[in-house]
Chain A
Amino acid sequence: MKAFSYERIDDAAQAAARAFEVPGSKFIAGGTNLLDLMKHEIEVPPHLIDITRTGLDDITETGEGGVRIGALVSNTALAANERIRCDYPVLSRALFSGASGQLRNKASTGGNLLQRTRCPYFYDTAMPCNKRAPGAGCAALDEGADTRQLGVIGTSEHCIATHPSDMAVALRVLDAEVETITPQGQTRRLTLDEFYRLPGDTPDVENVLEPGEIITGVVLPAPVGGRQQYYKVRDRASYAFALVSVALIETDDGKGRVALGGVAHKPWRRDEADAELGNGAKAVMAKLLDGARPTDENAYKLTLAERTLAALLAKE
């Protein structure tokens, strides 16, 4: 790990202003992903700003009948929250399907959104990676590369990495918004679709946060009810990242929403695919995965996504 200076700032706006002042600073909350990356020297921040005591750890009601989740709420606290379990079960289920008990106790809501890909070539510093070292190339696109876990849609010729979060897939299907504060003290709210970027020719830029801008919370709109499910397909029964995951909400009016994890650089959802839910999994996936460019090794994800959705729709 590279040496760094450290300070704790107990106010989110001040932390944002300070991060803007010191180039390359990073916020640290749970640290479960950042420290892992720092040990590998994939992240080499010269300065860390500890935001764990900024008080952003409440889950509160919004005026619109929804819920506001502070950025520091741990994954365990969020998943176990009574209101979330009752009204947003897809979110609880997604969180419980991720990581381990120890990690969920430490990992924060904001940090979960900002976690980096687990692409093996991003992690292997001996290999070229446009996300880690812009312009270096992408080893995942080389002949014979191991792409089994990587993206099938929304990819580019510079990067085929996926976003690893389960939580973000559930938040996407729930129409959640990310709440931020800029170093200038302005707040803004972004849908998850707006928040995350596709890799394009700058895969190192994963979201639209400006330098110093800090996530203060996540806002869930009023509950939509219906039947909510999250199903994660992975190589072992627990403590593994998704090969494919499906977040599904079927509402009483016969409509619904579906988002996928493990297939793209961001949680994957399309309105035109949601509209096909009454016509079965094949029809949904025809729209949702239209334009997919899988590799020979990960084309199975297209079939797997369709079958997983079919299984969820058929569930009694």
Chain B
Amino acid sequence: MTSTTTFEKHRESATTRSAVALSINGQRHELELDNRTTLLDTLREHLKLTGSKKGCDLGQCGACTVYINGKRVNACLTLAVMHQDDEITTIEGVGDVEHMDPMQQAFIDNDAFQCGYCTPGQICSAKATLDEIRAGIPSHVTKELTGPIEISDEEIRERMSGNLCRCGAYANILKAINQVAKDQIVKDQVAKERS
């Protein structure tokens, strides 16, 4: 197998580490990493930001959901070295005990978790779900591709399908997201009336 030998020779002689500057929750971090390091492992193992969780490590469970430049992604399926100058936000940047995000509060109010392992990913995804609906991005279950999108259980379920919960807290996760969605609609209404 000539090609395999060529590959291995390259691997032995080439540099397999890189320097990268990451912006995480508004803070800049200069790192030197093995190219293989995923964004998730960088957060957890190198920066001790352990809020983002490793479930499957294959993009199937959503426990590692973070935002890159405002969009939710699986941190386990992207390499840290690819994110020079990107704005990364983790659950630690969403809120903390003193400054709770409304979605975090809603998860507590509605008992939307049991073991809590998937919760940071659920919360990041839940916030993005409502943002995506507000931005007018349809989903698989949206009836009309070009019309307004109504927030419904069906819409939320479809948009949250990339986040798995082994405890099966789905019913209360749905309640929590609906609570925030309702509060947002009221807030939007008030803002509209004021302007």
Contacts and interface: CB of A to CB of B under 8 A. Distances in A.
The answer to whether A binds B is yes
Interface of A: 1-6, 8, 22-24, 28, 30-32, 35-36, 39, 44-48, 50, 52, 76, 79-80, 82, 85-86, 89, 92-93, 96-97, 99-103, 105-106, 237-239
Contacts of A85: 138, 145-146
Given A44-B7, A80-B137, A100 B161 contact: yes
Interface string B123-135: 0010011001001
24 contacts: A3-B16, A4-B35, A4-B36, A5-B11, A5-B14, A5-B16, A6-B18, A6-B79, A23-B3, A28-B82, A30-B78, A36-B58, A36-B59, A79-B137, A79-B138, A85-B138, A97-B140, A100-B161, A101-B72, A101-B160, A102-B62, A105-B72, A105-B73, A237-B161
Ranked nearest first, the 5 interchain pairs of A and B with the lowest CB-CB distance are A100-B162, A238-B161, A5-B14, A46-B10, A239-B161
Contacts of A6: 16, 18, 35, 79, 81
Given A31-B77, A35-B78, A39-B57, A3 B162 contact: no
Interface in B134-165: 135-140, 142, 145-146, 157-163
B35 A239 contact: no
Interface of B: 3, 6-8, 10-11, 14-16, 18, 34-36, 38, 57-59, 62, 65, 71-74, 77-79, 81-82, 84, 125, 128-129, 132, 135-140, 142, 145-146, 157-163
A193 to B, nearest CB: 27
B124 to A, nearest CB: 9
Contacts of B139: 96
A94 B8 CA distance: 40
A5 B77 contact: no
Given A35-B77, A85-B146, A103-B59, A239 B162 contact: yes
A3 B79 contact: no
Most-contacted residue by chain A among B18, B36, B57, B59 (CB, 10 A) = B59
A92 B34 CA distance: 38
B159 A31 contact: no
A102 B11 contact: no
Contact of B79 (A35, A76, A102): A35
A127 B189 CA distance: 59
A18 B161 CA distance: 39
Contacts of B3: 23-24
Contacts of A52: 82
Given A3-B36, A6-B81, A22 B10 contact: yes
A39 B36 CA distance: 9
Contacts of A30: 78
Contacts of A80: 135-138
B15 A5 contact: yes
Contacts of A31: 77-79, 82
